[in-house]
Structure 1
Amino acid sequence: MRWLRHLFAGDPVARHFPPATLDAIQRAIAAGERGHRGEVCFAVEGALPWRLVLSRLSVRERAAEVFAHLRVWDTRENTGVLIYVLLAEHAIEIVADRGIAARIGDAEWQALCACIREHFAAGAFEAGAIAAVERANVLLAAQFPAEPDDNPDELPDRPVVL
């Protein structure tokens, strides 16, 4: 059944994440990162490529691949976090770099995923994405507050459409 969801997914990214929504997410990421030393990345994928569906790659494994591909790990303090959305499977994964994982537990990230799911189930994709970004920013600001003279923006803020 999984392959059917990917085969007939169409282009859900364009429907649920139009340019104006991507702009709003980008602004939320940029605004939040001014308050902490972390780096938030948001990636959305409509459906997996066939080779990945056939290889039975899990959503978690795909999120880890995207984390590596986007170089979210490549920050000075290992404080990158990826919010990954796979629309064909209604799946959300959070991948946090080791600097974050040492301070913020899985329960916090699972609560963030639940928040997104609630919004998405109601058809509020922009609101859900922004709520997730804002919640991630709050978690990061509590553990990695910004330093006034040293807070570089190490990764692009623009959401990535895969």
Structure 2
Amino acid sequence: MSMKRIGKHLVEHHWRARRIFPPQALSLIEQAIKTGEATHSGQVRFVVEGALDGKPLFRNQSARERALDIFSHLRIWDTAHNNGVLIYLLLADHDVEIIADRGIDAKVGAAGWQKICTAMEDDFKAGNFSGGVIRGIQAVSRELAAHFPKHGRGPNELPDAPVVL
């Protein structure tokens, strides 16, 4: 466990996530999810966390491991076509992770998700957080539309609202 990482997470307050993603930005992100889901049968969730605390921090949980926990906790794996996708941003680590259920992951693969994460991280480095998230959602939605196009109305299986932890 790195003392530098612990210090960064202890100093990185959760309020930073709310400052970077105010209600107006969250509303635009929610709209991007709704617009994307109109083109495919998949489900997209966005979660941003300012910093880890408690057990995740002191267990030295990586952003990827945390994203897997959140993917499970939010039941993103529980979609009819196994095509749920989580976009997770851990601000303190400057890390974005995409966790995809097996149906869509088998079609896109690690390299495809990493390309989207890298583009998002480039936007974040430039200080364009909400724009980077929206472009990431659009890229994920393009993949979902290519492999799981929308046929009919279909249910919205998961909430579209972003989650700020």
TM bin (shorter chain): over 0.9
Contact 1:37 1:140 in 2 (8 A): yes
Candidates 97, 100, 119, aligned match of 2:101: 97
Percent identical pairs in the alignment equals 48
Match of 1:15 in 2: 19
Provide structure 2 residue ranges, at least 5 long, that are not aligned to the other structure.
none
Where 1:95 maps in the other structure, the secondary structure is strand
Contact 2:10 2:53 in 1 (8 A): no
Q: Which amino acid aligns with 2:151?
A: E
Equivalent residues in 2 for 1:88-127, closer than 5 Å: 88-127=92-131
Contact 1:37 1:146 in 2 (8 A): yes
Candidates 131, 136, 139, aligned match of 1:135: 139
Equivalent residues in 2 for 1:3-152, closer than 5 Å: 3-10=6-13, 11-148=15-152, 150-152=153-155
Provide structure 1 residue ranges, at least 5 long, that are not aligned to the other structure.
none
Contact 2:18 2:164 in 1 (8 A): no
TM-score, normalization by structure 2: 0.95
TM-score, normalization by structure 1: 0.97
- After superposing on structure 2, the runs of 4+ consecutive aligned residues of structure 1 that deviate more than 2 Å are none
Please state how far the C-alpha of 1:20 moved relative to its aligned partner: 0.5
CA displacement, residues 60-113 of structure 1 (integer Å, 9 cap, x when unaligned):
110000000111011111110000000010011110001111111111100100
User: Paired residues, what number?
Assistant: 161
Contact 1:34 1:151 in 2 (8 A): no
Report the RMSD for the aligned CA atoms in angstroms.
0.8
Where 1:81 maps in the other structure, the secondary structure is strand
Distance of 1:102 and 1:38 partners within structure 2: 14
Contact 2:49 2:90 in 1 (8 A): yes
